[in-house]
Structure 1
Amino acid sequence: MTAVDQLIAEIKALLSTGAISYNSASEGSDTYEGYIFALIVSTASRHGATVRYEDVHGAKANKLVFRTSPGQLYSTTQSYTHAVVEFDGAPPLEVHLGVRVQGTSGVLHECDVLVLSADEAALSRVQRMAPRGTHCILVVECKYYAASSLEIGLARNFEGLRADVRTQREIFVSNTRSASIVRYLDARNREFEGNVLPKSPQVGYLEAEIRRTFKSYLSKHTPSAII
């Protein structure tokens, strides 16, 4: 089984679905983003959230169609899938792949995986504008490199995104590890997790950070919630 096939199998298991748009010919970087999307959704579900899948029109998605290039959240060129996550007593959230977000400077930034309020997502679709980073609760930068090492420029780009988008939390995630990136991000007290692959111990560490994000979100809306 190839690395891509392993990621696809894990996505299907985490999302409890067999119908997804990835296949054996998909790029590793695309399926890796889908894998992180699946980890976020499954973590929410495991901690009590109800989850459903919708297309850009709000219709139920029977086959999950994932982006393989950055685009606008409100785009209707294809029926891209997002997840709607609802915890009791808190406003719903949406989880998206590969959408652009507006930074405080007005510049648009691509977010590999994004969690934001459903209200902000709805506003984006109605007004056909990129969602505002300040209304997002989590951005995950995903880096999948099969044959080469991670370059320091990737961490610098992440730092620039983090500084302008200003979400509640940003995490740098990769399938491998780079000493220079570790030193760079750690010196700036940024959240990162390397070697995140199916069945690795690092998956559990990332899921703990995702849970912490949802826990912080719930503390603002339903402090009595226990997850």
Structure 2
Amino acid sequence: MAAVDELLAELRAHLRAAVSYTTASMPNDVYEGFLFSLVIATARKSGAQIRYQDVNGSMASNLVFRTSPGWLYSTARNYTHAVLEFGRAPELEVHIGVKVQGNSGVEHECDVVVLDAEEADLCRFARTSPRASKCLLVIECKYYTGHLPLGQARGFAGLSADLGRRAHPIFVANTGSGSVTKYLTGRTLSRELHVVPRASEVEGVQSLIREAFKDHVGRRDSGLRVY
């Protein structure tokens, strides 16, 4: 099991910036940051231009992340998000811990979200939550020091159904269990368990992230190759 300092070292290396997490941060919060950093690392390897912005749209070098779910438009703190640019395809934003409106109209707390930058701008202007139909990727992050409960998999199944296929929902955990694996596999839901720094499963997560990017670019800039 990865300790907080291992997660911090890995995410700092991927983000190439100072972050608001410390060794005293809650492991589940840092784990979300770790998955955020895998999105950034995958985007960079796939050819994206990356920049970090604060809630006012200014460039950020000291990254401040949420440690509890909130609204994308919140200015309670100067939270950071990433902006990804793949050629001529519309820009994307990557956020930690924001609420997303499912297709049912119900809001869900999502750990890591990649969405259309235009939708993010609309949310900041209208003070609304992003729509699932405008999300490219949603990662549900679970960090446990013991057994991974089956209930987490059941909850993810409901979340996936309400978000829809375009959101490419992925269940990621630092540990696992046979029942969780069997449940998610039986429902053909995307998942990767035992994901910790330097584990081979990290490649599995990045492969799923890359597929979401390829889908986005393929629909918007068919001439651009995503590696």
Place the TM-score, normalised by the shorter chain, in its bin.
Answer: over 0.9
The DSSP-based 3-state class of the residue aligned with 2:201 is helix
Shift of 1:105: 1.5
Q: How many residues align?
A: 224
Matches within 5 A, 1:178-197: 178-197=177-196
Corresponding residue for 1:88? 87
Q: Within 5 Å, give how 1:39-78 maps onto structure 2.
A: 39-78=38-77
Q: 1:154 pairs with 142, 147, 152, which one?
A: 152
Instruction: Name 2:125's counterpart in structure 1.
Output: 126
Q: 1:125-162 CA deviation, whole Å, 9 max, x = no partner?
A: 0000000011101000000002x211111011111111
- The answer to whether 1:209 aligns with 2:208 is yes
Q: How far 1:167 sits from its partner (Å)?
A: 5.0
User: What is the aligned partner in structure 2 of residue 97 from structure 1?
Assistant: 96
Task: Specify every segment of 5 or more residues in structure 1 that has no aligned partner in the other structure, as ranges.
Answer: none
- 1:224 aligned onto 2:211: no
Partner of 2:7: 7
The corresponding residue for 1:163 is 161
Native 8 Å contact 1:98 1:110 kept in 2: yes
TM superposition shift of 1:16: 1.1
Structure 1 residue ranges (4+ consecutive) displaced by more than 2 angstroms after TM superposition: none
Aligned to 1:119, what secondary structure does the other structure show? helix
The 3-state SS of whatever aligns with 2:139 is strand
The answer (yes or no) to whether the contact 1:137–1:167 under 8 Å persists in 2 is: no
Contact 1:136/1:167 (8 A) holds in 2: no
Partner of 1:140: 139
Judge conservation of contact 2:163–2:169 (CA < 8 Å) in 1. Answer: no
**Contact 1:101–1:111 at 8 Å: present in 2 too?**
yes
Identical pairs, percent: 50
Once the two structures are superposed, residues 21-51 of structure 1 have per-residue CA deviations (whole angstroms, 9 ceiling, x without a partner) of 0001001100000000000011101111000
8 A Cα contact 1:138 1:167, kept in partner: no
**Per-residue deviation, 1:198:** 0.5
* CA distance in structure 1 between the partners assigned to 2:104 and 2:207 by the alignment: 31
What's 1:27 paired with?
A: 26
The CA distance in 2 between the partners of 1:104 and 1:152, in whole Å, is 24
| Conserved? CA contact 1:135–1:167, under 8 Å | no
Partners of 2:212 and 2:99 in 1: how far apart? Answer: 21
Is contact 1:139–1:167 with CA below 8 Å preserved after alignment? no
**What is the distance in 2 between the residues matched to 1:31 and 1:135?**
26
Query: How many Å apart are 1:208 and its aligned residue?
Result: 1.0
Displacement of 1:62 in angstroms is: 2.0
Q: Distance in 1 between matches of 2:19 and 2:199?
A: 23
Aligned partners of 2:90 and 2:117 also within 8 Å: yes
TM-score between both structures, scaled by the size of structure 2 = 0.97
1:188 corresponds to which letter in structure 2?
Answer: R
The one-letter code sitting in structure 2 at the alignment partner of 1:16 is R
Quick check: 1:8–1:31 contact (8 Å CA) kept in 2? yes
Report the TM-score when normalising by structure 1: 0.97
